[in-house]
């Protein structure tokens, strides 16, 4: 034990053997079977990380725009390239997922939606909404472009 | 199902002053939690505005970008987006580091470095928007 918090992660089985409890997210697969609640939860964190990296791209885009014509045309050309489009696709999918599942989290914070069938249903709805919003965004994008 | 079914004896291991202030055992945790929620609510309309802006600015040249950001509503909304987004990011990143870095010194150092980087990105973004707004 290196940290006091480790004390919470050590327990005993009913046979009395010491066990190290698995820590999130390393319990997925090994200690926990697939559940929509854990899947939406870990994806919320992963999409948040993706958006964190995406914020770096937003900063770069704004700094290039403020730097002048030359820098801005370079970043616009990169974003319009195949690599740029793949990056932007991932960014929009993460944004729409985090947006939809974030609403779910806000509803829980307000004390609503804790019934397990309801939770499963709107968990699936988040995936469907993410796909629809992402596809809608790119359909409009290619129409406007 | 209610948690009030049975009376439960709870021993308070907090000073009377901290109880009176409503600080609880979480210290600054409740402020962190609340700020994360407030910024997320602000980001609901702001991120939709951002998505609309991205569509409007697809393939834009420099002149169009400058003209867009020079409009006061756009520069103000972008500044609001930058503030709420990077604030929310800093709070989220802190939670992730606290979950996965057990060593206290490393945890503190990682959080400070990442928050510093995030603050710098926020400043660079805001300065860029302001420069475009006033150019």
pLDDT tens for the 145 residues of chain A, in order? 566 666 777 778 788 888 777 766 666 666 777 889 889 999 999 999 999 999 999 999 999 999 999 999 999 999 999 999 999 999 999 999 999 999 999 999 999 989 999 999 999 999 999 999 999 999 999 998 8
Residues of A in contact with B43 (CB under 8 A): 102
Rounded to an integer, what distance in angstroms lies between the CA atom of residue B89 and that of residue B82? 10
Long-range contacts at A125-128 (CB < 8 A, ≥ 24 apart) = A125/A100, A126/A40, A126/A97, A126/A100, A126/A101
Helices (H), chain A: 36-67, 69-80, 82-109, 116-144
Q: How many CA atoms lie within 13 A of B32 on its CB side?
A: 12
Domain boundaries, chain A: 1-33, 35-144
Q: Quick check: A62 contacting B, CB < 8 Å?
A: yes
Domain boundaries, chain B: 27-133
Q: Is B22 left (phi over 0), alpha (psi -120 to 50) or beta?
A: left
| Beta strands at A18-20 and A10-12: parallel, antiparallel or unpaired | antiparallel
Q: What is the pLDDT at residue B30?
A: 80
Closest residue on chain B to A9 (Cα): B102
Q: What is the pLDDT at residue B97?
A: 95
User: How many other CB atoms sit within 10 Å of the CB of residue A85?
Assistant: 13
Orientation of helix A36-67 relative to helix A116-144, angle to 10°: 30
Per the structure block, which two tokens stand in for B135?
């150019």
Residues 65-94 of B with CB under 8 A from A: 65-66, 69, 78, 85-86, 89, 92-93
Q: What is the pLDDT at residue B1?
A: 45
DSSP 8-state assignment for residue A81:
S
To the question of domain B27-133 being in CATH 1.10.287.3510, the answer is no
Radius of gyration of chain B (CA): 21
Q: Which of A49, A30, A29 is nearest to A39 (CA)?
A: A29
B93 contacts A59? CB cut-off 8 A: no
Residues of B in contact with A106 (CB under 8 A): 37, 40-41
B44 contacts A103? CB cut-off 8 A: yes
Cβ(A93)–Cβ(A134) below 8 Å: yes
Q: Which of B62, B92, B132 sits opposite A48 (nearest CB)?
A: B92
Mean pLDDT of chain B: 88
Q: Quick check: B119 contacting A, CB < 8 Å?
A: no
Cβ(A64)–Cβ(A75) below 8 Å: yes
Angle at A88 between CA A86 and CA A94, to 5 degrees: 105
User: Best mutation site among B120, B128, B135 for testing chain A: the one with the most A CBs within 10 Å?
Assistant: B128
A109 contacts B132? CB cut-off 8 A: no
Residue B108 pLDDT > 90: yes
Q: Which of A56, A65, A109 sits opposite B128 (nearest CB)?
A: A65
**ipTM of this predicted complex?**
0.85
User: Best mutation site among B92, B95, B114, B135 for testing chain A: the one with the most A CBs within 10 Å?
Assistant: B92
Task: Specify the CATH number for A35-144; select among 1.10.3720.10, 1.20.1300.10, 1.10.238.10, 1.10.260.40.
Answer: 1.20.1300.10
Q: Quick check: A113 contacting B, CB < 8 Å?
A: no
């Amino acid at each position: 034990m290196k940290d006091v918090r480790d004390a919470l992660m050590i327990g005993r089985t009913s046979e009395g053997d010491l066990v190290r409890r698995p820590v999130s997210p390393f319990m997925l697969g090994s200690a926990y079977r697939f559940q929509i609640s854990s899947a939406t939860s870990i994806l919320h964190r992963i999409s948040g990380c993706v958006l964190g990296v995406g914020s770096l791209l937003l900063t770069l885009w704004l700094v290039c725009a403020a730097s002048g014509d030359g820098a801005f045309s370079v970043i616009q050309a990169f974003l319009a390239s195949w690599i740029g489009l793949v990056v932007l696709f991932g960014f929009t999918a993460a944004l729409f997922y985090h947006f939809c599942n974030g609403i779910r989290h806000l509803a829980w914070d307000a004390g609503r939606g804790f019934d397990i069938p309801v939770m499963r249903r709107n968990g699936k709805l988040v995936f469907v909404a993410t796909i629809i919003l992402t596809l809608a965004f790119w359909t409009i994008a290619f129409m406007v472009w | 199902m209610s948690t009030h079914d049975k009376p439960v004896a709870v021993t308070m291991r907090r000073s009377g002053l901290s109880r009176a202030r409503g600080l609880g055992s979480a210290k600054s945790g409740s402020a962190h939690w609340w700020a994360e929620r407030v910024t997320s609510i602000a980001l609901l309309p702001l991120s939709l505005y951002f998505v609309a802006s991205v569509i409007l600015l697809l393939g834009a040249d420099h002149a169009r970008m400058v003209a867009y950001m020079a409009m006061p509503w756009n520069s103000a909304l972008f500044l609001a987006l930058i503030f709420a987004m990077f604030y929310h990011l800093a709070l989220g990143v802190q939670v992730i580091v606290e979950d996965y870095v057990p060593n206290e010194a490393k945890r503190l150092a990682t959080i400070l470095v990442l928050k510093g980087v995030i603050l710098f990105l926020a400043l660079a973004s805001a300065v860029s928007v302001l420069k475009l707004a006033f150019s």
